[in-house]
Chains A and B, each alone.
Chain A
Amino acid sequence: MPELLEIKGLDARYGDFQALYGVDMTVSAGEVVAVIGANGAGKTTLMRSISGLIRNGADMVRYRGNAIGALRADQVAAQGVALVPEGRLLFQSLSVEENLIIGGQMGRKGPWNLRRLYDLFPILEERRNVPATALSGGQQQMVAIGRALMSNPDLLMMDEISLGLAPVIIRQIYEALPGIVGEGLTAIVVEQDIAKALSVSSRVICLQEGRVSLSGKSGDVTRDAISRAYFGV
């Protein structure tokens, strides 16, 4: 049985600038993996590479054994990979509900639909017809997460979903996480808050200047190891 996600020797570039160097990472079905690292370490680049927003060598990313590294983002999405992008990036011309519906437009089968999402985030049902960007930051993040869930993904990636939100809202969103990940969903969580990252994940990898500087079980890594992996001292 191949791993759900297998990344081997991933190099990613923006034009002439290389942002990732030989990144290796595996994610098994059902686990939550945290990706941590300082600003500019390459976390978002890694998410964009997996989701197909940056296209790399085909063999660098394998999903269920298939080489997907060179596919377009819509082709990767169709296989059941969803990304909650950094900065939410909702569609401003679409209402809250339309943002959610478009997340589900591929018609993949699974537990998530509008009804269940509104049960998870009741405030979104109340505000379903307002333009998505008229919501508060926390509510917009709920829409971004909901939009990804609507595609009924097998692998859900969340890039700094707590960025710029009040602690209360962050707690609220993370409290919803176990319920989301519970049903066999696999998740990759990018998080700046290390304590948070370790508490929600079973494994963690740390990036530093485009390279993996640490990888291990979330329960086993020491503070020392992390600060070394973070800053390279």
Chain B
Amino acid sequence: MDWLNAILQGTLLGGLYAMFAAGLSLIFGVMRLVNIAHGDLIVLSAYLALTVAVGLGLNPMLALVIVVPLMAAIGYALQRLVLNRTMGDDILPPLLVTFGLSVIIQNALLTVYTADPQKLNAGAIETASVPLGPLTVGIMPVIVFAAAVGVIGLLQWMFYHTALGRAFRATSDRQDIAQLMGLNRAHVFGLAMAICLAVTALAGVFLGMRTSFDPAVGGTRLIFGFEAVIIGGLGNLWGTLAGGVILGVAQTVGAKIHPGFQILAGHIVFLLILAVRPRGLFPRMD
């Protein structure tokens, strides 16, 4: 029964990892950009939510109403003002610039919020749980998992059934020809980054409610996100969810074997999958 519980908890945790990963997956799919600062942007969202929640006395989940559009606006501006200038045939400039951005965000957070660990306090719902057969599941992890499924379903629908998604796919296929169709690549990329950071905001708030955070925890979140994307296969959002779940289960089962084994178990499963299927489990993209 303990094992079953570990798998259940891991699956729910995978929802959070999928949310770390969904934005990465989206912008890689649309513009082949690997954003090293992604994890720090998640942490930035958590801090913004903290400021809003404490400042206005709101529940952190209500703070999303402000933080999600704010991060989307930051994403659009970041893409248009900074990242678009780095994009071209050479993949190195965006890597270097987003690495620099990561350092800047961490240090800015350190200056403003200090290195003290913080937590978003969501109240009683954090510890509430319901029995499920012989197991007990926390309400919060279920909400996070449901949100992840919702976000990925929404992104998937947007990608394949809306004009915006069509523009994303066309631009991803052939940037120059998309431009001929009247789509300004700079704007399309800006919108993709806006959506990415909107999802990031959600991920950051859920992260902050689940565990304490400090300015330095972004890197690990970036790695978990990367691993989920790559396990699932590039360009496949449902694959990303599956990747998140696999990573989450690997970690909780690993922790069950030995508490110190949790993170390592995730990395080992990631490496095994990469060794057997270098393109991930459900690749959509070459």
Contacts and interface: CB of A to CB of B under 8 A. Distances in A.
A58 B53 CA distance: 52
Interface string B147-187: 00000000000000001001101101110111111111100
B166 to A, nearest CB: 6
Contacts of B179: 52-53, 72-74, 77
A106 interface: yes
A5 B218 CA distance: 54
B163 A77 contact: no
Q: Which of B163, B170, B174, B180 has the most CB of A within 10 A?
A: B180
A218 interface: no
Given A91-B174, A105-B163, A73 B169 contact: no
A80 to B, nearest CB: 11
A106 B173 contact: no
Nearest to A85: B177
Q: Which of B174, B181, B185 has the most CB of A within 10 A?
A: B181
A91 B180 contact: no
A78 B177 CA distance: 14
A94 B173 contact: yes
Interface stretch (A30-38, A96-104, A189-197): A96-104
A203 B277 CA distance: 58
B182 A78 contact: yes
Interface string B69-102: 0000000000000000000000000000000000
A77 B174 contact: no
Contact of B181 (A52, A72, A92, A102): A102
A93 interface: yes
A225 to B, nearest CB: 34
Given A74-B179, A77-B182, A83-B180, A92 B163 contact: no
Contacts of B181: 74, 77, 102-103, 105-106, 147, 151
A101 B182 CA distance: 12
Interface in B182-203: 182-185
Nearest to B177: A89
Contacts of A103: 181
Contacts of B163: 105
B202 to A, nearest CB: 26
Contacts of B182: 74, 77-78, 105-106, 151
Nearest to A103: B181
A140 interface: no
B179 to A, nearest CB: 4
Interface in A164-210: none
B88 to A, nearest CB: 13
Nearest to A75: B184
Contact of A93 (B172, B177, B180, B185): B172
Contacts of A77: 179-182
A91 B176 contact: no
Contacts of A89: 174, 177
Contact of A102 (B167, B172, B176, B184): B167
A51 interface: yes
Nearest to B169: A93
A202 to B, nearest CB: 26
Interface in A58-100: 72-74, 77-78, 82-83, 85, 89, 91-94, 98
Given A102-B166, A105-B167, A91 B177 contact: yes
B176 A93 contact: no
B166 A94 contact: yes
A17 B163 CA distance: 38
Given A102-B181, A151-B181, A151-B182, A73 B176 contact: yes
Contacts of B185: 74
Interface of A: 51-53, 72-74, 77-78, 82-83, 85, 89, 91-94, 98, 101-103, 105-106, 147, 151
Q: Which 10 A-B pairs have the closest CB atoms?
A: A106-B182, A73-B179, A93-B169, A91-B173, A77-B182, A74-B184, A91-B170, A74-B182, A89-B177, A74-B179
18 contacts: A53-B176, A53-B179, A53-B180, A73-B176, A73-B179, A74-B179, A74-B181, A74-B182, A74-B183, A77-B182, A91-B170, A91-B173, A94-B169, A94-B173, A102-B181, A105-B163, A105-B182, A106-B181
Interface of B: 163, 166-167, 169-170, 172-174, 176-185
Given A73-B179, A94-B170, A106-B182, 17 more contacts: A51-B180, A72-B184, A73-B176, A74-B179, A74-B180, A77-B180, A78-B182, A89-B177, A91-B170, A92-B173, A93-B173, A94-B169, A102-B166, A102-B183, A103-B181, A105-B182, A151-B181
